[in-house]
């Protein structure tokens, strides 16, 4: 079966590796949902098999550019030295679902899993664009504000590119799934505790004078 791609109808076509086995109603097939999850998340986890054959999961920062997601790390890391099969995951936690029964407890979330063969970015122009995308993903406007990487810094930074050809999206939203207990007379409280990510007020680096103005793009981000 070919890898998961946006079909003529604009939907994701699941493969045997990305098709949900359970809770299939939670699988989203709209590629815009996949893009939105990757764009909102600030951290991803990259699963690889290390040179000793053991599994390894690395937290890192990423950015999506079209149908490619870029991740970065140290160029000296053996796990990033070769093209290899990887699994990239992102989870956005939206709420704690507290049910009447312990069995029905859950969470509201949006998650994405991308599988495929990662490509080491060696073209200098693409490498620089990928680094810019990652910085801009964290705080738009920061790339132009900060000093650009020099040749030594660029050489020390590895960038991997992973096509979004084979991906799955899973979403759970809503109240607890045990309403039958209410009908049976169980009136103990149940519901959802929302979870949000909040960016706080910027804190100026202590090496700077305390009255150094915070750039507008940083204030906008916060």
For the chain, which residues make up each domain, given as ranges? 24-197
The reported pLDDT for the residue numbered 49 is 87
Read off the pLDDT band of 81 (50, 70, 90): low
The reported pLDDT for the residue numbered 31 is 86
pTM score: 0.85
The reported pLDDT for the residue numbered 9 is 36
Read off the pLDDT band of 180 (50, 70, 90): confident
Instruction: Tell me the range of 15-19, 112-116, 131-135 where mean pLDDT is highest.
Output: 131-135
DSSP state of 175: S
Read off the pLDDT band of 141 (50, 70, 90): very high
The reported pLDDT for the residue numbered 17 is 64
The reported pLDDT for the residue numbered 36 is 96
The reported pLDDT for the residue numbered 27 is 62
Dihedral angle of Cα 215, 219, 221, 222, to the nearest 10 degrees: 140
Dihedral angle of Cα 34, 71, 129, 144, to the nearest 10 degrees: 100
Residue 77 pLDDT exceeds 90: no
The reported pLDDT for the residue numbered 23 is 60
The reported pLDDT for the residue numbered 185 is 75
The reported pLDDT for the residue numbered 178 is 79
The reported pLDDT for the residue numbered 209 is 96
- Name beta bridge partners: 97: 106, 192
Q: CA 49: distance to chain centroid?
A: 20
User: What is the three-class DSSP state of 94?
Assistant: strand
The reported pLDDT for the residue numbered 8 is 27
The answer to whether 30 touches 12, Cβ cutoff 8 Å, is yes
CATH superfamily of 24-197: Electron Transport, Fmn-binding Protein; Chain A (2.30.110.10)
The answer to whether 86 touches 160, Cβ cutoff 8 Å, is yes
How distant, in Å, are the alpha carbons of 48, 56, 57, 119, 142 from that of 82? Answer: 11, 15, 16, 8, 30
The answer to whether 162 touches 130, Cβ cutoff 8 Å, is no
User: What is the three-class DSSP state of 121?
Assistant: coil
**Residue that has been written with the tokens 């970015």 in this structure:** 121
The answer to whether 32 touches 26, Cβ cutoff 8 Å, is no
> Per-residue pLDDT tens for 17-55?
666 656 666 566 678 999 999 999 999 999 998 878 889
Helices (H), the chain: 31-40, 124-138, 142-145, 151-155, 180-183, 216-221
The reported pLDDT for the residue numbered 137 is 97
> Per-residue pLDDT tens for 194-222?
999 999 999 999 999 999 999 999 999 98
């Amino acid at each position: 079966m070919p890898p998961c791609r946006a079909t003529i109808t604009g939907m994701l076509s699941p493969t045997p590796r990305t098709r949900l086995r359970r809770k299939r109603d939670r699988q989203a097939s709209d590629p815009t949902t996949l893009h939105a999850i990757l764009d909102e998340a600030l951290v991803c986890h990259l699963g690889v098999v290390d040179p000793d054959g053991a599994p390894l999961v690395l937290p890192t920062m990423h950015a999506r550019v079209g149908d490619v997601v870029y991740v970065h790390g140290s160029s000296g890391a053996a796990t990033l030295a070769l093209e290899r099969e990887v699994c990239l995951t992102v989870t956005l936690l939206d709420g704690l679902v507290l049910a009447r029964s312990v069995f029905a407890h859950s969470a509201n979330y949006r998650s994405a899993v991308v599988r495929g063969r990662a490509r080491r970015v060696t073209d200098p122009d693409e490498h620089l664009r990928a680094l810019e995308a990652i910085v801009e993903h964290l705080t738009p406007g920061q790339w132009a504000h900060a000093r650009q990487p020099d040749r030594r810094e660029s050489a020390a930074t590895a960038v991997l590119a992973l096509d979004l050809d084979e991906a799955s999206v899973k979403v759970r939203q809503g109240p607890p799934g045990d309403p039958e207990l209410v009908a049976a007379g169980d009136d103990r409280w149940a519901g959802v505790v929302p979870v949000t990510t909040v960016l706080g007020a910027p804190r100026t680096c202590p090496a700077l004078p305390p009255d150094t103005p915070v750039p507008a793009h940083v204030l906008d981000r916060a």
